[in-house]
Amino acid sequence: MNLGLYGHENEWIAVDCGMMIRQDLPDAPLQVPSLETPEALGIRPRILVITHGHEDHIGAAAWLWPKWQCPVYATPLAAGLLRVKFVERGLAVDAIQVIEPGEALENGPFTLRYLPLTHSIPESCALLIAAGDYRVLHTGDWKLDPEPLIGPPVKGSLFRALAPVDLVVGDSTNAPMPGHSRSEGEVARALEQRLSQCSGRVVVSCFASNLARVLAVAQAAERCGRRVSLMGRAMVRMVAVARGLGYLDDMPPLVPVSDLGYLPPQEVLVIATGSQGEPRAALSRLANGRHHSLELMADDTVIFSAKAIPGNERQIERLKHALRHLDVAVWDEFNHPELHASGHPAQDELRTFYGWIKPRHLLPVHGERRHQQAHQELAESMGIQAPLAPINGDLVRLDGEGLSLESRHPQRPCIVSQDAVTPLPGLTAERGSPRHGILHLALSVASTKTGWTRIGRLMMDAHRVSAMDEDSFTDWLDERLEEVEADTLAELRTALQPLVTSWLGQHLRQLPDVHLQLVAVEVPAYR
């Protein structure tokens, strides 16, 4: 999920409004950002600004916008996708304003300019946010793709003209990766080469929003003598909106799914949703023999042209197992890495980009903690100050002294049904209402030269708390203990409490009250 809030002189704007699918919960509901903290702090954004049209950046807008009733600014593709979502939920679309990449807008004390960057969806933009004496570049999701297939490559001159900026709020997703991410042009050529080797039906599963990949697959299929069909509501919707904006004029004619049974297997190629193992998606229905128009058989091939999102590995492996049970060949990021390209920058791209904009400070966002830390190390090696690796709910101040953590607000999960606008009863608590169960955690810790370490077993007493993976939690807690900077037991507890609450919020269906007890012990010295 992505929801950033920027404030200056008691005025605020919101950047992006995303959701995530909770496949670990029954019926795979959605998790959206909680507005409990902004409401408690009196934060109500003047506008909502969208960087691009991925679900983790726009998916929650239809749930949260009714509480704000503010103008929404988005580039044409993201605006088109937002309108569909608003109409589906009976919301007026008048608030959605189209802004073209490269244009600027002013609102209150803020001046914002949309700066186009390449990503795995067209019209992805960074935001230059100017307020008072400060200029912040919020990158959104990006990469430096010399051959993006849809849209132009990044103009370095555009970003060199910004230097220096006071702060870059930057994408950490691939910060641990050396080198440069693969180009969409490279993937297109690899797809065509591999498709020519397939004999039966071929199903390619990728993110519906990756229009360059969808176009590359369709064109490669046509050159290999195959007819193209789309499978999955999200895929059909995305292609329809993109075609309306002129993005897929070169796409071959499509065959209705209902006509696939009349074609010889070697002439069939399906582009399907479901690369993340979603049980409702088209690929899962095919793997389990539940699709009404197509049945996979031996000699068919399924290509995963998408990387596993962290947390989805188990569902994806179950899906691949079901496909292999049908004697279907499975090609994925492990045995054919050339069939996918990440939409995020590796280390060489980060260095190039920061060489252009010359930021004074970095706030690393996106990815997990190890990604943020790798991003910090890279920035500091370039002379960029990067003192913080924020977690959800952190309020960070930028002033003449640099970056500082103003306050920390642990976030409760907010779960909504995929088929409803209102939150599911019993899954999210309003402010002031009781949480679900009580979790007592007690552990003995010892101070080491590099941090803290756990001594003995973690003691846990859970009352009316949903089941949790204790081994995963213990491993995660041990890693945090090594990283936390605290001189005293009180400081350690203050630092750990919000981190524990955040982990539980991401891994439990219902967030309990957490009571954390720490006991310091001396480690005997042996000679």
Indicate if the alpha-carbon torsion angle 424, 426, 429, 433 is positive or negative.
Answer: positive
Task: Look up the pTM and report it.
Answer: 0.79
Confidence band of 419 (pLDDT split at 50, 70, 90) = low
Write down the H helix ranges in 419-512.
Answer: 470-483, 489-507
Residue 393: pLDDT over 90: yes
**CA–CA dist 462, 183 (Å, integer):** 49
Mean pLDDT of 297-319: 89
Edge-to-edge strand list for the sheet holding 452-463: 452-463, 438-447, 513-520
Q: What are the pLDDT digits (tens) for 439-465?
A: 788 888 888 777 788 887 787 777 667
**Percentage of the chain lying above the pLDDT 90 cut:** 66
Tokens of 516: 């954390």
Place of tokens 């065959």: 255
- CB atoms under 10 Å from CB of 360, counted, come to 16
CA 136 to chain centroid, in Å, comes to 21
- Spatial distance between the Cα atoms of 322 and 286, rounded to a whole number of angstroms: 9
Statement: residue 270 has pLDDT above 60: yes
Q: What is the mean pLDDT of residues 238-258?
A: 91
Specify whether the CB–CB gap between 294 and 286 falls below 8 A: yes
Q: Is the peptide bond before 164 cis (omega within 30 degrees of 0)?
A: yes
Task: Give Cα separations from 129 to 13, 75, 461 (angstroms).
Answer: 10, 16, 47
Judged against a pLDDT cut of 70, whether residue 47 lies above it is answered with yes
**3-state DSSP call for residue 372?**
helix
Going through 83-146 in order, the beta strands assigned E by DSSP cover: 96-98, 104-107, 110-116, 125-131, 134-138
